[in-house]
């Protein structure tokens, strides 16, 4: 079974090649790309298209590698021992499995494990996972047991580039950068989300969107998820196409621009551009 576009996700040729290569090589797939370009959703789509279960490990600034393996619940054990509970005799009762352990145990088939936003964690985090991701095994000190993957999970790791990842970690991954979709790909992405929207509206909306992205000096350029939100609003408001047509973003702010522009500096910049171009046009 190979990964390809689905009726909810558009995968470009190079993305398909990367996913299938990492599955074949049994190496984690490291996915980077602008925010909102479908990195997280990709793991869901891979799981769905390969018909495998998905486990998600969402990384935060406080996440440590050990959390993905297991945690020892010493507090519960202490409480149980004070209450004279017989459970305390078996320390295994207080070992809480992490996402990686769950993925290692999956049977009968493989699991897709999404390690989402790895760059949010401490710089040591990726290094601390090297051995586990390489050998797909780890040792539980409390019980003296080695946990080995019954089936190597398909590991998808996403990063927004907030931190550099260490070389030793990179060496173990297959890397893919999701390039920002070109116009034709974007049309297909919009079509899978809004199959019934008028072609003309999509065309005008994409004109405005790509023009906006080209403006130099924007702090946060809108991406796929912003475009999808915007189109949803345009449709919900049943806006006439004339409201978009021939509306150069340099002469007026697009309608419902709050879905596209996410900070006041960018809104001010566009207002200034509009003011200048109106003055020149006079
Ligand atoms: N190629 C695509 N095909 C279909 N939908 C897409 C595609 N790329 C992005 N989307 C849509 O864009 C939205 C954002 O996707 P997602 O949350 O996966 O982005 P992300 O790259 O993980 O963003 P972030 O870096 O902010 O976490 C989703 O609604 C998703 O369905
Ligand atoms: Mg994401």
Longest Cα pair distance anywhere in the chain, in angstroms? 87
Asked whether the predicted pLDDT for residue 280 surpasses 80, the reply is no
> Ligand 2 center to residue 116 CA distance, Å?
7
Ligand 1 within 6 A of 40 CB? yes
Ligand number, closest to the Cα atom of 116: 2
pLDDT tens digit sequence for 239-248: 787 777 756 6
Instruction: Give 41 Cα–ligand 2 centroid separation in angstroms.
Output: 7
Whether 159 is in the pocket of ligand 1, judged by its Cβ within 6 Å, is no
Q: Is the pLDDT of residue 62 over 90?
A: yes
16 lines ligand 1 (CB under 6 A): no
Q: Is 10 in the pocket of ligand 1 (CB under 6 A)?
A: yes
pLDDT at 247: 60
Ligand 1: residue whose CA is nearest its atom 24? 35
Q: Which residues contact 147 (CB under 8 A, 6 or more apart)?
A: 69, 101, 104, 105, 137, 138, 139, 140
Give dist(CA 191, CA 10) in Å, integer.
10
Phi, psi of 247 (to 5 degrees): -90, 90
Is the pLDDT assigned to residue 279 strictly greater than 90?
no
> Cα(159) to centroid of ligand 2, in Å?
8
- pLDDT score recorded for residue 6: 86
Euclidean distance between CA atoms 103 and 197, whole angstroms: 40
Confidence at 274, pLDDT banded by 50, 70, 90: confident
- 5 in contact with ligand 1, CB cutoff 6 A: no
Tell how far the Cα of 32 is from the centroid of ligand 1, in angstroms. 12
Ligand 1 site, residue 35, Cβ cutoff 6 A: yes
pLDDT in tens, 185-227: 999 999 999 999 999 999 999 999 999 999 998 999 999 999 9
Q: Does position 162 have pLDDT exceeding 90, yes or no? A: no
- Does 225 sit in the ligand 1 pocket, CB within 6 Å? yes
Confidence of residue 142 (pLDDT cuts 50, 70, 90): very high
pLDDT in tens, 243-265: 777 566 677 788 898 999 999 99
Contact indicator for 180, 34 with CB cutoff of 8 Å: yes
**pTM of the predicted model over 0.85:** yes
Q: Evaluate if residue 73 carries a pLDDT over 70.
A: yes
Atom of ligand 1 nearest to the CA of 181: 1
Residue nearest to atom 15 of ligand 1 (CA): 38
């Amino acid at each position: 079974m190979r990964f390809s576009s689905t009726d909810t996700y558009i995968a470009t040729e190079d993305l398909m090649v990367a996913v299938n290569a990492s599955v074949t090589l049994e190496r984690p797939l490291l996915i980077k790309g602008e925010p909102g370009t479908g990195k997280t959703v990709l793991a869901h789509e891979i799981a769905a298209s390969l018909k495998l279960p998905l486990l998600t490990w969402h990384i935060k600034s406080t996440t440590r590698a050990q959390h993905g393996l297991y945690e020892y619940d010493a507090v519960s054990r202490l409480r149980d021992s004070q209450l004279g509970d017989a459970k305390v005799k078996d320390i295994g009762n207080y070992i809480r499995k992490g996402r990686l352990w769950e993925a290692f145990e999956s049977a009968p088939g493989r699991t897709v494990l999404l390690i989402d936003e790895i760059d949010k964690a401490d710089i040591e985090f990726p290094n601390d996972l090297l051995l586990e991701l390489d050998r797909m095994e780890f040792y539980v000190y409390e019980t003296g047991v080695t946990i080995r993957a019954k089936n190597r999970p398909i590991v998808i790791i996403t990063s927004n580039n907030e931190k550099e990842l260490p070389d030793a970690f990179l060496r173990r991954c297959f890397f893919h950068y999701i390039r920002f979709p070109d116009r034709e790909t974007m049309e297909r992405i919009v079509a899978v989300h809004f199959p019934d929207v008028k072609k003309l509206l999509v065309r005008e909306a994409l004109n405005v969107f790509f023009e906006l992205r080209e403006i130099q000096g924007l702090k946060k350029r809108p991406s796929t998820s912003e475009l999808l939100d915007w189109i949803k609003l345009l449709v919900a408001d049943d806006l006439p196409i004339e409201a978009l047509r021939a509306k150069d973003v340099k002469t007026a702010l697009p309608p419902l621009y709050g879905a596209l522009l996410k900070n006041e500096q960018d809104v001010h910049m566009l207002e200034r551009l509009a003011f200048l171009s109106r003055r020149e046009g006079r």
